[in-house]
Amino acid sequence: MILAGGSGTRLHPLTRITNKHLLPIYDRPMVSYGIEALVQAGVTELMLVTGGTHAGEFLRLLGNGREFGIERLEYGYQERAGGIAEALGLAEHFVGGDRVLVMLADNVLENSFAASVERFCAQKRGARVLLARESDPEHLRNLGVPELDGEQRIVRIIEKPKDPPSDLVVTGLYFYDSDVFEIIPKLVPSGRGELEITDVNNWYVEQGTMEYDLIEGFWGDAGESIDSYYAVNDFVRLNGANKK
């Protein structure tokens, strides 16, 4: 599942005329990097969820998905900014009791995460997240940060911590078993009125079924800010992305 919704306010004024995931990263639309990464990892059945007034542009870009290596492509529409977890809930019929990989379409990686897909498939149950290192304490305070115990297992994930418990951040790639669709209806909206994916992740942490991988190489959230958007552009232009 690839999520390409949101209002994109952090990238104004660029997003006043289009969805942020259709903005260019180097020589092609941002969303195409996420799709390429998923297909390279062996995920060829995709559901794209978007919203707002530019949803039809994804259909014009992707069509039936065959040009991008997608075998089955469906579209979902999120009518309001209800959060990542709410958007994931729209895919229940698409997933059909199977496992699901969720990727935020503004996340761009230097290297393939195919090995993480294989590890998740080998898990009997539970969830998996991809973590990245972040050396800037101020940046950590604006992201989801995991706290690890002595055995290096996640004991909780804190959203925007004042005192970050580690130098790791949770990226926008999440792997879940089918239990996730039983969890989402029980979530309580946060103060901003959204169903938070961190609450989903912490449920799995509490069950003792959350695993993780540490990303090697570059990871960037091109939708985080104008500066981040151009930093991702610069990296991809010079180094490429989704290397096998």
Residue-wise pLDDT tens digits, 203-238: 999 999 999 999 999 999 999 999 999 999 999 999
Residue 221 β-bridge partners: 107
Segment-wise mean pLDDT, segments of 10 residues, the chain, 244 residues: 88 92 97 98 97 92 97 94 92 96 98 98 97 94 96 96 96 98 95 93 98 97 95 98 96
Q: Distance between CA atoms of 228 and 220, rounded to whole angstroms?
A: 7
CATH class of the 2-239 domain in this structure: alpha beta
DSSP secondary structure, 72-138, as one string: EEEEEEE-S---HHHHHHTTHHHHTTS-EEEEETTEEESB--HHHHHHHHH-SSSEEEEEEE---HH
Q: Which residues contact 235 (CB under 8 A, 6 or more apart)?
A: 108, 110, 218, 220, 241
Report pLDDT for 130: 98
Residue for token digits 């259709």? 22
Q: Distance between CA atoms of 101 and 43, rounded to whole angstroms?
A: 8
Report pLDDT for 52: 87
Report pLDDT for 191: 87
pTM for the model stands at: 0.95
Report pLDDT for 192: 85
Domain borders along the chain are 2-239
